[in-house]
A and B are shown apart, each in its own frame.
Chain A
Amino acid sequence: MQIVVNGEKKIINEKMSLAELIKELGIDAQRVAVELNRSIIDKADYPKTILKENDSLEIVSFIGGGEIGR
């Protein structure tokens, strides 16, 4: 099934959890925050959050910046 991660389409297995997806993407869950269809998901809920067709995810982390403003 298809989902959208950070604006990019991605095909994943049915019934995949958010925790499994993050692991597959090679991302350290401790370093990120996740929005699923515009709602923030608590880190503790990643394993029980099962992804569905057309779900839209934003996975963000911290980058260098201070007074960049753009």
Chain B
Amino acid sequence: MDDKLIIAGIEFKSRLWVGTGKYKDFEETKKAVEASGADVVTVAVRRVNITDKSKENLLDYIDPKKYKILPNTAGCYTAEDAIRTARLARAAGVSDMVKLEVIGDEKTLFPDNEALLEAAKVLVKEGFIVFPYTNDDPIMAKKLQDIGCAAVMPLAAPIGSGLGIRNPYNLKIILETIKIPVVVDAGVGTASDAAIAMELGCDAVLMNTGIAGAKDPLKMAEAMRYAILAGRLAYKAGRMPMKLYASASSPLEGKIGG
């Protein structure tokens, strides 16, 4: 099936994108990423530990030649911090992409849309391929498209909540409103959530806690891989219409005793 996901001229081999946080160690991270079949891996930017030189580097486990590294600005609460973090991420030399997060509130981790738009404008102008983490708000999605973002990443539910697709109708409206790809980011808790996102017509799903927070992250990574494939196929197949009453699937003709 020729069903490639291409964003900003980049071809993505999988519609499942994964985060690398909350795993017990880099070895488990690596195995979960492999089991998920993802080729986009998002990573955070942090100070190098200069006192403990023995600390291993994530990129020794997640090979940038094998995976598309998507640096994120997680933990940034202002446009200025997010822009600074994105610039540093690009200077590390593995990617021009950035998952732009400007967090507005610590409890909900909901995005600060005003600051997000401001940061996105600056980074698009500087040539970044910007993937903004946003609310499931069609108006905001349109604004982000219009200023030149490569895709939008609406949340399905709060980050790390595992509540699933809280507002499928908003996602549908976003899909109808904009032309750039829609990548659901955050809130997916189990395989059926991922399948629902794909059945709605979303282009990809990014998740972290849904896999890392499972009792068996490697099994869940594999489950998510199939859920994304199944959901996408179902979307392409076009579901049957829903009906209130039964409709027999066996012919009545030739029935005994008739």
Contact = CB atoms under 8 A, between A and B. Distances in A.
A26 B88 contact: no
Interface stretch (A3-11, A12-20, A48-56): A3-11
Interface string A1-43: 0000111101000000000000001111011111100001111
Nearest to A22: B48
Interface of B: 18-23, 26, 29, 42-48, 50-51, 53, 57-59, 69, 71-72, 74-75, 84, 87-94, 101, 103, 106, 109, 133, 159-160, 185-186, 206-209
A62 B208 contact: no
Contact of B44 (A7, A33, A62): A62
A3 to B, nearest CB: 12
B70 to A, nearest CB: 9
Contacts, number: 142
Interface residues of A, number: 32
Contacts of A58: 47, 88
A41 B92 CA distance: 10
B92 A61 contact: yes
A42 B91 contact: yes
Interface of B is mostly: mixed
Interface of A: 5-8, 10, 25-28, 30-35, 40-43, 58-70
Nearest to A28: B57
Contact of A61 (B26, B57, B72, B74): B57
A58 B84 CA distance: 11
Contact of B58 (A26, A62, A70): A62
Contact of A68 (B26, B59, B75, B87): B75
B57 A31 contact: yes
Contacts of A26: 53
Given A32-B48, A33-B88, A66 B18 contact: yes
